Amino acid sequence: MKWSMLAAAAAAFVSLGASEALAGRDLDQIKQRNTLRCGVQGPSNPGFGVPDSQGRWSGFNVEVCRAIAITIFGDPNRVEFVPVTTQSRFPALSAGEVDVLSNNTTWTLTRDSNVNRFNQPAITFYDGQAIMVPRRLNVTSARQLNGATVCVQPGTTTELNLADFFRANNLRFTPVVIADLDELRRAYDSGRCDVFTNDFAALAAQRTLLTRPADHVILPERLSKEPLAVTIRQGDEELTNIVAWTTFALIDAEELGITQANVEQIATTSTNPVVRRLLGVEGNMGESLGAARPDYVRQIIRTFGNYGEMFERHLGTSTPLGLERGMNNIWTRGGLLYAPPAR
């Protein structure tokens, strides 16, 4: 009796998993499966990827994946979101459990090389380790922090970057190490340390949870470079192009002033050849890229808006995270976002 039960259960499972094949080029496989498998940070990452109360994923990284799905399929809903942890993300990508990682993975040489055989086609967010201090200390630069007590998570690159920064600037500091981020924030809030350090986006989220967020300021220095990039397996040029040029399209649209609200009007009235090419009104950019339809950019912008609109919706000053654009602004406005020409 037990065995028949086991066999039936096994049969049910095998039939469920029958569509998971591990063969062929990545893009072909994605198209054959008819869905893009997108690895997002689990359990959740405020602003970047969070399941809402109905179990639907939303956030900046989530929309990046949906935009890629528009390029491949012309349909933002052909995405399966697979939560991965910081430990499981790379094995999951190598093993084909996911096709792309959109989970705040920093672009580094060892990851984007023959060692790990990954590919990081485009940066979606520029992060970096930052320092927060109470406003009453009247500190304007991290170089004034000699002798400070610093709240930091142990065993992370954050801790190492902190030590490097203070040593390089001949400063002394006393670390207060607490593993749990919530507890670390409480320690800082109660005045156990003068300084709270973490990656900028995370630090900004933590600031909103302090008793008086306005009494704290994040200093301009960045202790590390954390360019967060969409990550895929190495060896599929077509998928690399699609990921890169989907990201560039979001950036280009913002630079050209194309928004969710005006994209249709611009597409029909604009005489600017750059705009017309980007939106697929003339030329064959979509076809060159292997997109599902020539006006894929138009569809992306109509669905999600440009980079700036996505940023403001999930991370910007009107959200609880309250991030300033900073480095994540268009190059013409003092940021680092610069897309190669779409022609």
Give the residue from 230, 144, 150 showing the smallest Cα distance to 198.
150
Q: Which is nearer to another protein, 164 or 182 (CB)?
A: 182
d(CA 94, CA 111): 12
- Least Å distance, CB 319 to another protein, is 6
d(CA 243, CA 116): 19
Q: Which is nearer to another protein, 79 or 266 (CB)?
A: 79
Please give the helix or strand (H or E) that residue 84 lies within, else none. strand 79-84
d(CA 161, CA 168): 10
- Least Å distance, CB 186 to another protein, is 10
Q: Which is nearer to another protein, 14 or 168 (CB)?
A: 14
d(CA 343, CA 340): 9
- Least Å distance, CB 98 to another protein, is 9
- Least Å distance, CB 6 to another protein, is 6
Q: Which is nearer to another protein, 55 or 191 (CB)?
A: 55
- Least Å distance, CB 73 to another protein, is 17
- Least Å distance, CB 101 to another protein, is 12
- Least Å distance, CB 3 to another protein, is 9
Q: Which is nearer to another protein, 268 or 318 (CB)?
A: 318
Residue 233 near residue 26 (C-beta atoms within 8 A): yes
Q: Which is nearer to another protein, 222 or 325 (CB)?
A: 325
Neighbours of 238 (CB within 10 A): 14
- Least Å distance, CB 56 to another protein, is 7
* Cα–chain center distance at 279: 24
Q: Which is nearer to another protein, 127 or 252 (CB)?
A: 127
Q: Which is nearer to another protein, 94 or 169 (CB)?
A: 94
* Cα–chain center distance at 20: 26
Binding site for another protein (CB under 8 A): 1-2, 4-6, 8-18, 20-23, 42-47, 50-57, 80-85, 87-88, 91-92, 94-97, 182, 205, 208-209, 314, 319-321
Strand partners, 174: 149
- Give the pairing of strands 129-134 and 216-218: antiparallel
d(CA 46, CA 33): 30
Q: Which residues of 141-168 are buried (b: 16+ CB within 10 A; e: fewer)?
A: ebeebeebbbbbbeeeebbebbeebbee
* Cα–chain center distance at 234: 19
Residue 10 near residue 55 (C-beta atoms within 8 A): no
d(CA 1, CA 333): 70
